[in-house]
Amino acid sequence: MSTSGQVRGGSARNARQDPEWLIIGGAPRSGTTLLYNLLKKNPYLALKNERNLFEQALRDGEQGAAADYDHLLTKAQRARVIYLGEKRPEYYEFPLSRCFPSGRVSFLHVSRRPRDAIGSMLARTERARRGEDPVWSPYFTARDAADTWLRAWQFAMASSCNNRFMHLKFEELVDDPDGLIRRICDWLGVSAHAIEASLLREQKAYPALLATSGSVTARLRGIDREWNLPLSALEQAHADLGPGWFQAPRRLRRRLLWWYSVGRKRL
């Protein structure tokens, strides 16, 4: 596993006065929710699940966003918590330097085998088309899923020199959760905690869906075949893997379709 980081220790601090941020993310359907559920019981972490951290930080600043965590914590917890944070899969689509100008933010980025992540995204598309998933767009295509996976991988490669960025493999999280959680806690400089075995339910593998035409999915077949390699080897072999030049218009199209099918109905 490649962490590209150093263990950072530190005494407990008042979270409202001196926030240290932790973001859990990666491509959608890559295990970010599982990692969030495994970490949220740690007494040194105060985490939210896809709430409004980034929007609040842009609107009210870091201190304003930190104040919103008070209702999650008891007085004793406020004296102990070191990291405030959120699980937000596509966190890299936000202007991170504007959200966290202090630079006091660490990232846990999860990558999952392309065919499984893409298959899971498309399974949600099918549920959305049947009216069973109100927060996912029924217009999300295989090309959209491939582009989304590639965008997350591209960001991970661009962030590899950041000592506050830890790249993780979903499969490691499932195969050795205790070991990986210990390594994460060591990296964060906090004590490890016991994880709940009930959270480690069987993780569904989705069928290979990389046979669709197009240069993007063709490029993904190589990394999919080699996914059994250590993450450090995958990073070296596929450091230049990313969406093509047409990614920006496609991302705009996805956002507009999501707003048309989901976002405006939530107002």
CATH number of the domain where residue 157 is located: 3.40.50
Determine the structural domain holding residue 146 and report its residue range.
20-266
pLDDT at 11: 40
Of the candidates 241, 75, 230, 82, which has an alpha carbon nearest to the alpha carbon of residue 156? 241
5: number of Cβ within 10 Å: 17
pLDDT at 178 over 90: yes
Asked if residue 12 belongs to a domain, the reply is no
pLDDT at 56: 94
231: number of Cβ within 10 Å: 18
pLDDT at 197: 78
User: Which of 9-18, 39-48, 201-210, 237-246 is least confident?
Assistant: 9-18
Asked if residue 122 belongs to a domain, the reply is yes
pLDDT at 91: 96
6 band by pLDDT with thresholds 50, 70 and 90: very low
Percent of the chain with pLDDT over 90: 58
Percent of the chain with pLDDT over 70: 86
7 band by pLDDT with thresholds 50, 70 and 90: very low
pLDDT at 105: 96
Asked if residue 13 belongs to a domain, the reply is no
Asked if residue 65 belongs to a domain, the reply is yes
pLDDT at 13 over 70: no
Asked if residue 35 belongs to a domain, the reply is yes
pLDDT at 2 over 60: no
207 band by pLDDT with thresholds 50, 70 and 90: low
Bridging pattern class, strands 165-169 and 105-111:
parallel
Model confidence pLDDT, tens digit, residues 25-38: 999 999 999 999 99
- The torsion angles phi and psi of 226, rounded to 5 degrees, stand at -100, 10
Asked if residue 201 belongs to a domain, the reply is yes
Of the candidates 131, 126, 161, which has an alpha carbon nearest to the alpha carbon of residue 145? 126
Of the candidates 140, 153, 155, 87, which has an alpha carbon nearest to the alpha carbon of residue 257? 140
Model confidence pLDDT, tens digit, residues 39-96: 998 999 999 999 889 999 999 999 999 988 888 787 877 888 899 999 999 999 999 9
The CA distance from 84 to 148, in Å, is: 26
pLDDT at 256 over 90: no
Number of domains in the chain: 1
pLDDT at 36: 96
Q: Is 205 exposed, middle or buried (0-12, 13-18, 19+ CB in 10 A)?
A: exposed
The CA distance from 235 to 204, in Å, is: 25
Bridging pattern class, strands 20-26 and 165-169:
unpaired
The CA distance from 146 to 78, in Å, is: 41
Mean pLDDT computed over 243-261: 76
Q: What is the mean pLDDT of the chain?
A: 85
Asked if residue 6 belongs to a domain, the reply is no
Asked if residue 123 belongs to a domain, the reply is yes
Mean pLDDT computed over 9-14: 42
